Chains A and B, each alone.
Chain A
């Protein structure tokens, strides 16, 4: 699960991790109202206006409606003109940013609507570095990753200058050890007060990762200020969904408006669904088989419209819900149902398909491939249903048949 930057900073602040002061706002009036108290409490006339969406690359991103405007804007008008000049500038920015659509490298060309801004104090940046905590699948342990190249995407650093990435492995029995934090701080070239503050920061985010069951904490950039403070200028946190049950405070931060409506609806029916851009809807049991079904559609020359795993124990209601979700996508021209019955019997799923089609109504081609437990019974149910269902012999045959049916 993803959360916004302002929420990640709330969680960090609550754990004593240094972050700039800031206020999340959803209207122009609130944005203006945030400026004076922020400048007063920090004594810093510079404020930053940041779009809050679930995607990275906001600074370099541009608004669809305003090609000259990025997602992160520094307001320096307050330095000479005082609070009122800062407020005027924030009003102009908020007016353009709120309700507009921000396109970044991570949003896709359609972008994401900006519903919230974060008004944050300016920070006197001496250096930008990078720190993250994430799972290393090769060792099955969390690692702390650090780099002197703050502000650059870590994937770029990894590709171009891999020697600039430092890693230490966290033993789950002991947590991050002091000497490991020191190693990283030395490697980052921190000195004096910044060295001490850096160690404190690194230990604190490793602890937060453990306490909060994050699958990623990424601070990019982490900044060293002119007076040697070490502060999270940006903050990204992702949470491991299997562990969310033990973190109600994190669950409460879920922003459904950032997620795909069909994916939310599907998860309510215990369906695993991901929308794609193609024209052939798929309904499959099992995650691996569902992925492979998309692949085989592509292999025969089609484009899958979705990933959909109905799971191992799908009931008729789930099958009906799956059909409704698939057919609501206006791009979908036909549906391919691919089932390998194991514990779930083919006759059960066949009856589920027939009932669901009768209930939902279906005005597009449907190809069904059944294999496994009670396959003959299942096929007979489909044949006797008098519905316009095409049977397929195997996965490839099914993919070819649905492709032909949607092209004619």
Chain B
């Protein structure tokens, strides 16, 4: 079990440029069912992907792949021809919000937007557009979503993941990898890892992910990785107090960040005294979340939150 995506998920890619092609290839090598692409100026063509799979040599799984992906003019045409329910977006920033809205209008269940640098005003519009539709957005400016051994959508390195018991949700890309790597090392593994992105306006938030993990029978605990800026972590902490039935560990980046400066991510900024790491850590602790004192301790914090074996 997992959340959002699994073995059966069929995925199309919006934007088949250099980046889109590179990561589509990696996704296929991981085993993801990439079934189509949308690229208006290349509609009617196909794109060939060939190589060795990530699981070459594993019994019962293919050693190599050769997949020819058809390219369509619109998301609707791609869905009609392929039956895809999920899209991943690598479209450049000026056009990415439009791509999100096109995917939502076509009734896809899930759209994962990897693109970094989308104007905030465009995302405000796209988010408003999504409110009256059933499509779920993950991102933008995120590494994507992965269910280990089943389906990888996004730019994360597949091999650090291992199927297991923990749901992962994070605003940061490389810190997600750090957490995933440690969970694999301590033997807990992951059910699904979701990068919700580092922008101030995004789709799926911490609470959405906590709710999904809480409802997923396979997920036994959750690790959430937040950072300075906004109040999403505080709101998540309140939700945990009221609703969460599973153990939660956490980490907050940015204890040493100076106020008023954007720390790489557009959303990572302390403004007007709000959004500090200290506030977020206090909120986590008040909600019973085991907070890792350093990023090296995330795996250990999750083990501590899970309690002794057999519990």
- Scoring B residues 216 to 228 as 1 if CB is less than 8 Å from chain A, else 0, what string do you get? 0000000001011
B94 closest partner in A (C-beta): A245
- Scoring B residues 128 to 143 as 1 if CB is less than 8 Å from chain A, else 0, what string do you get? 1000000000000000
- Scoring A residues 285 to 306 as 1 if CB is less than 8 Å from chain B, else 0, what string do you get? 1111111101111110000100
Pair A287/B256 contact, Cβ less than 8 Å = no
Main SS of chain A's interface residues? Answer: mixed
Contacts A276-B258, A340-B174, A342-B177 given; does A289 touch B295 at CB 8 Å:
yes
* Interface check A189, CB cutoff 8 A: no
* Interface check B265, CB cutoff 8 A: yes
Segment 136-157 of A: residues with Cβ below 8 Å from B: 137-138, 140-142, 154-155
- Scoring B residues 188 to 201 as 1 if CB is less than 8 Å from chain A, else 0, what string do you get? 00000000001011
Pair A289/B174 contact, Cβ less than 8 Å = yes
B181 closest partner in A (C-beta): A371
Pick out which of these stretches binds chain A: B8-16, B28-36, B154-162, B239-247: B154-162
> Which of B120, B176, B264 touches A243 (beta carbons < 8 Å)?
B120
* Interface check B83, CB cutoff 8 A: no
A260–B155 Cα distance when bound, in Å, is 32
A172–B225 Cα distance when bound, in Å, is 30
Pair A215/B231 contact, Cβ less than 8 Å = no
Pair B264/A309 contact, Cβ less than 8 Å = yes
Contacts A243-B120, A342-B156, A372-B157 given; does A287 touch B172 at CB 8 Å:
yes
> Which of A172, A242, A286 touches B174 (beta carbons < 8 Å)?
A286
- Scoring B residues 287 to 304 as 1 if CB is less than 8 Å from chain A, else 0, what string do you get? 000000111110000000
Pair A242/B266 contact, Cβ less than 8 Å = yes
Pair A295/B253 contact, Cβ less than 8 Å = yes
Contacting residues, chain A, for B181 (C-beta < 8 A): 340, 371-372
Segment 14-46 of A: residues with Cβ below 8 Å from B: none
* Interface check A166, CB cutoff 8 A: no
Pair B175/A137 contact, Cβ less than 8 Å = no
Segment 294-325 of A: residues with Cβ below 8 Å from B: 294-299, 304, 307, 309, 312
* Interface check A255, CB cutoff 8 A: no
A294–B261 Cα distance when bound, in Å, is 14
Interface size class of B (residues with CB under 8 A): 35 or more
Pair B178/A287 contact, Cβ less than 8 Å = no
Contacting residues, chain A, for B124 (C-beta < 8 A): 135, 140-142, 172
Contacting residues, chain B, for A288 (C-beta < 8 A): 170-176, 198, 225, 227, 253, 264-265, 268
A171–B125 Cα distance when bound, in Å, is 9
* Interface check A396, CB cutoff 8 A: yes
Segment 111-133 of B: residues with Cβ below 8 Å from A: 117-125, 127-128
Contacting residues, chain A, for B260 (C-beta < 8 A): 106
Pair B93/A274 contact, Cβ less than 8 Å = no
Pair A307/B123 contact, Cβ less than 8 Å = no
* Interface check A358, CB cutoff 8 A: no
Chain A proximity of B203: nearest CB distance (Å): 10
A408–B71 Cα distance when bound, in Å, is 61
Chain A proximity of B285: nearest CB distance (Å): 16
Contacting residues, chain A, for B254 (C-beta < 8 A): 291-292, 295
Contacts A288-B227, A291-B228 given; does A343 touch B157 at CB 8 Å:
yes
A395–B182 Cα distance when bound, in Å, is 12
Chain A proximity of B15: nearest CB distance (Å): 17
Pair A340/B263 contact, Cβ less than 8 Å = no
* Interface check A240, CB cutoff 8 A: yes
Contacting residues, chain B, for A307 (C-beta < 8 A): 257, 261, 263-264
- Scoring A residues 42 to 80 as 1 if CB is less than 8 Å from chain B, else 0, what string do you get? 000000000000000000000000000000000000000
19 A-B interface contacts by CB (under 8 A):
A213-B121, A241-B266, A242-B93, A243-B119, A274-B261, A286-B172, A286-B175, A287-B172, A287-B265, A288-B174, A288-B264, A292-B254, A294-B255, A340-B178, A341-B157, A342-B155, A372-B157, A373-B159, A397-B296
For the A-B complex with A240-B121, A289-B253, A291-B172 known, give 6 more contacts whose Cβ atoms are closer than 8 Å.
Answer: A135-B201, A213-B121, A240-B119, A246-B119, A292-B175, A295-B253
Which 7 pairs, one residue from A and one from B, show the smallest C-beta to C-beta distance? A288-B172, A287-B264, A286-B174, A243-B119, A289-B174, A288-B175, A342-B157
B residues adjacent to A (C-beta < 8 A) = 93-94, 117-125, 127-128, 155-157, 159-160, 170-178, 181, 198, 200-201, 225, 227-232, 235, 251, 253-258, 260-261, 263-268, 272-273, 277, 293-297
A residues adjacent to B (C-beta < 8 A) = 106, 135, 137-138, 140-142, 154-155, 158, 171-173, 210, 213, 215, 240-243, 245-246, 272, 274, 276, 284-292, 294-299, 304, 307, 309, 312, 340-343, 371-373, 394-397
